[in-house]
Amino acid sequence: MSECICGRRLMHDCCKEIARLEAALAEAKKQRDHELSRLAACGVAAMGNTKEAVVQRIDRDNPYWSASYGDVCASVDREMDLRSDLAALKASLPGMIAEAWATAIQIVWEWTYQKRVGGADIALIETMKERAASERARRIE
């Protein structure tokens, strides 16, 4: 006959219940630690908004991967895409401004040329024409 966990000769129901609860508590602590690690993985993913960090992401088969981890990664990807779009826009801004200038000058020049009757200032028109050409050249650079 087996001895009870309390050391006495007979198995007691209350001692069996204590053993069952202790096992359940140990399992719950294991699950808690696992969830804390999955949560920490989300934090790491949230901070990892560089190409170098992205290649170090964990896969779905990793025990610390979760749907929330996937959501954080997707959000970080969107942030990185937006940063990239912003950088491209900033880079193209001088060209866009130059193009707008060139278009505006061309319109003014064409209008002035069309309205020129007799004493219009040819030198001014030519200057504006040159300005438009130089703005176009700057845009191409």
Residue ranges in contact with Zn ion by CB under 5 A: 4, 6, 12, 15
Compute the distance between CA of residue 91 and CA of residue 134 in angstroms, rounded to an integer: 19
Tell the smallest beta-carbon distance from residue 27 to Zn ion (Å): 22
Nearer to Zn ion, 1 or 67 (CB): 1
Tell the smallest beta-carbon distance from residue 22 to Zn ion (Å): 13
Nearer to Zn ion, 4 or 80 (CB): 4
Nearer to Zn ion, 14 or 140 (CB): 14
Tell the smallest beta-carbon distance from residue 74 to Zn ion (Å): 54
Nearer to Zn ion, 4 or 42 (CB): 4
Tell the smallest beta-carbon distance from residue 11 to Zn ion (Å): 7
In angstroms, the first-to-last Cα distance of the chain is 94
